[in-house]
Amino acid sequence: MPDGGADAVTNQSHYLVWALALGALLDAVLGDPREWPHPVRAIGWLIAASETRLRAMIALVERRTNGLGTNVPMAIEPHPTPRCKDVPQLANLLIETRKNHSTPWEEGVGGVVSERTGSDATVATTASIAGKRFAAESPASDGVSPPPLTPLSQAGEFLGFASQNGRASARSANAERCAGVALAAIVVGATCLAVWLVLTVCDHFGPVASVLGRACLVYWGLAARSLGDEAARAVGAADLATARRELSMIVGRDTDSLEMPEICRASVETVAENCSDAVVAPIFWYLVSGPIGLWGFKAISTLDSMVGYRNARYRHFGWASARLDDLANLIPARLTWLLISAVSLPMGESAGAALGIGWRDGRKHPSPNAGWGEAAMAGALGIQLGGTSTYSGVTSEKPTLGVSIRSIDRAVVHRSIRLMKGVSALAVILASAIFLVRSAMFSPRSDSKPNPELRQVRKAAAGERNFAPDSLPAILHFQRDCRTGACETGGFRGYPLG
């Protein structure tokens, strides 16, 4: 690799290390204050607006195809506004439990949304609890056809024509899936482009701005502090009614009739699953491709939280988002199992049980990813998770994870929070170490024993006057060889020789 390229890789790695450390520190100290804005709102608005536009264009093409013209009013179902529970800004996701969508997803469809996987934890993952309020700003369709010749409208035209495969309606399963793919491409692409623009602007103002810009993106992308605070707030409420209300902010199950042991179990499950979705996965994708990778993952997770439901509206439309989220979490979920096992021993928990039960029970969960963190947490704490839960009145029987050695109480919830924060710290340390190793591998090498004559050349080229006069012939000889292309520069580079 050329020296310039090596320098660029080295500097970039150093920026990423400092940004990760600073962003994780901000998350640990500040969390996501409820009154602060959060970028995930913009992602949520984009999802809602894009879905409405795509559905409108498909309906318009359907009417044209059926010969009804474009002047006939269209009954376009607006994007359902998630019920905002007024939990402004915790650090990451809890986008919307959306209890008006009830049917849990079946095995093999897994992913982030609790109503789809039958688990609550991922309702609080990758976007932000702030996302619970962005829908209040989401545009709703008023039945007026969108303006023509926009990227979204052209995508809608294509989706409408793609659906004409012998089916009577443009909202066939194939058309819905195509629309879902287009939605995912638009949202993830726009998010990554926006992050790239932010990084470009920050880099223009120098190294300090580069580090600070990346640190802010990391801070907004992590959720360890806010997730722990919300779980602790639920189990630490003064009365049962308050505890149920606080729990409903971070889980998708019905909480109106839960007793304290069930509230504690739901809190541990949320912490365990979000240990991957809100902590490990963002750091993993940051390690893979920096802030762009982190926020690409968060766009996918937000998509899954908004459209990844197996009901009449999203069964096909949300298919692409659900599958994409499953893929994005595939490695982080298993890393979470290993990290929980690793931090259990120094924190006084059972590392062996976390490793063994995580391996044994991690694949029992209906979601391909959610069970790994929950099983490892259950093994480390000596508790049993899973069992019966109710989602919008529909009972869901989930497999049990772990062995019940002790009952789940408030103390166990706080121990799970402590483990989750330990995983966060270990993940940051490991990611930083990998960045530094990569930086060392690509750093420019110089001769271990520089030629004394080259030292004199450097001094002369730099305009210094304290070089030995007897070295002048060697310097002139060196310059002559460089002009003819016959010199061996070794560690000498970057100095003009005239």
Concatenate the DSSP letters of all residues of 413-450 into one string: HHHHHHHHHHHHHHHHHHHHHHHHHHHHHHSPP--SS-
Of 68-72, 326-330, 366-370, 373-377, give the lowest mean pLDDT range.
68-72
Nearest residue to 143 via CA among 63, 25, 211, 201 = 63
Of 169-183, 197-211, 264-278, give the lowest mean pLDDT range.
169-183
Position 477 scores a pLDDT of: 56
Q: Is the pLDDT of residue 167 over 50?
A: no
Q: What band does 470 get if pLDDT is binned at 50, 70 and 90?
A: low
Structure tokens at 141: 């369709």
Q: What band does 224 get if pLDDT is binned at 50, 70 and 90?
A: very high
Position 394 scores a pLDDT of: 84
Q: How far is CA 229 from CA 31, 224, 342, 441, 480, in A?
A: 9, 9, 23, 40, 69
Average pLDDT over residues 294-319: 90
Position 292 scores a pLDDT of: 96
Choice between 3 and 268, residue whose per-residue pLDDT is larger: 268
Of 8-22, 337-351, 425-439, give the lowest mean pLDDT range.
8-22
Position 396 scores a pLDDT of: 85
Nearest residue to 371 via CA among 118, 103, 98 = 118
Position 468 scores a pLDDT of: 52
Q: Is the pLDDT of residue 424 over 50?
A: yes
Q: What band does 64 get if pLDDT is binned at 50, 70 and 90?
A: confident
Position 137 scores a pLDDT of: 37
Position 463 scores a pLDDT of: 58
Q: Residue 394 pairs with which residues in a beta bridge? A: 391
Helices (H), 443-488: 452-461, 472-484
The helix or strand, by DSSP H or E, that contains position 374, with its residue range, turns out to be: helix 370-381
pLDDT tens-digit series, residues 390-415: 887 888 888 999 998 999 999 999 99
Q: Is the pLDDT of residue 185 over 50?
A: yes
Q: Is the pLDDT of residue 114 over 90?
A: no
Average pLDDT over residues 97-116: 35
**Is 258:305 a contact under the CB 8 Å cutoff?**
no
pLDDT tens-digit series, residues 80-93: 444 333 333 333 43
Q: What band does 60 get if pLDDT is binned at 50, 70 and 90?
A: confident
Position 391 scores a pLDDT of: 84
Q: Can you tell me the distance from the alpha carbon of 419 to that of 120, in angstroms, rounded to the nearest whole number? A: 19
Q: Is the pTM of this model over 0.75?
A: no
**Mean pLDDT, the chain, as a whole number?**
75
Position 43 scores a pLDDT of: 93
Q: What band does 131 get if pLDDT is binned at 50, 70 and 90?
A: very low
Position 365 scores a pLDDT of: 86
Choice between 50 and 173, residue whose per-residue pLDDT is larger: 50
Position 9 scores a pLDDT of: 53
For residues 462, 464, 467 and 472, what is the CA-based torsion angle, rounded to 10 degrees? Answer: 60
Position 86 scores a pLDDT of: 32
Q: Domain boundaries in the chain? A: 3-439, 453-498
CA 467 to chain CA centroid, nearest Å: 57
Choice between 416 and 87, residue whose per-residue pLDDT is larger: 416
Position 476 scores a pLDDT of: 52
